[in-house]
Structure 1
Amino acid sequence: MNNINSRPGFFAAFFGFKRMVSPFFITLVYFLGLIGIIACVVKHIMQGPNLPGYLVGYMDQYVPGDMQTYVAYALVVLGGFLVILVWRFVCELLISLFGIFNRLSEIKVLLGEPVSAAASAARVKATIAPAKAKREKPKKPTKANKEKAIAIAAAAPVVAAVAEAKEAVEEAAEKAKDSDNSNDDGPEDDDPPRSRRRRR
Structure 2
Amino acid sequence: MNDLIKRFTTFDKLIATSLIKFLYWIGLAGIALSVIVGIFGAIGAMTQSFLAGLGMLIAVPLGGVIGLVFWRFICEIYIVIFGIYDRLGEIRDK
Query: TM-score, with normalisation over the residues of structure 2?
Result: 0.79
Cα distance in structure 2, aligned partners of 1:35 and 1:108: 39
Partner of 1:77: 61
* Change over 3 Å in CA distance of 1:50–1:81 after alignment to 2: farther
Give 1:46's aligned amino acid: F
Give 2:41's aligned amino acid: Q
Give 2:23's aligned amino acid: V
Contact 1:41–1:80 at 8 Å: present in 2 too? yes
- Structure richer in helix, relative to its length: 2
SS in 2 for 1:17: coil
Contact 1:49–1:76 at 8 Å: present in 2 too? no
* Change over 3 Å in CA distance of 1:107–1:50 after alignment to 2: farther
Give 1:43's aligned amino acid: V
Partner of 2:9: 15
Partner of 2:36: 42
Give 2:14's aligned amino acid: M
Greater relative CO, 1 or 2 (CA 8 Å, sep 6+):
2
Contact 1:23–1:95 at 8 Å: present in 2 too? yes
1:109 aligns with 2:93: yes
Q: CA-atom RMSD, angstroms? A: 2.5
Which blocks of at least 5 consecutive residues in structure 2 are unaligned? none
Partner of 1:24: 18
Give 1:83's aligned amino acid: G
Give 1:78's aligned amino acid: L
Which blocks of at least 5 consecutive residues in structure 1 are unaligned? 1-6, 52-64, 111-200
Cα distance in structure 1, aligned partners of 2:24 and 2:66: 15
Query: TM-score, with normalisation over the residues of structure 1?
Result: 0.40
Q: 1:89 aligns with which of 73, 77, 94?
A: 73
Partner of 1:173: none
1:99 aligns with 2:83: yes
Give 1:37's aligned amino acid: I
Cα distance in structure 1, aligned partners of 2:23 and 2:43: 27
> What pairs up with 1:169-184 in 2 under 5 angstroms?
none
Partner of 1:122: none
Contact 1:44–1:50 at 8 Å: present in 2 too? no
SS in 2 for 1:48: helix
Question: Deviations for 1:35-67, whole angstroms, at most 9, x for unmatched residues?
Answer: 11001110111233689xxxxxxxxxxxxx654
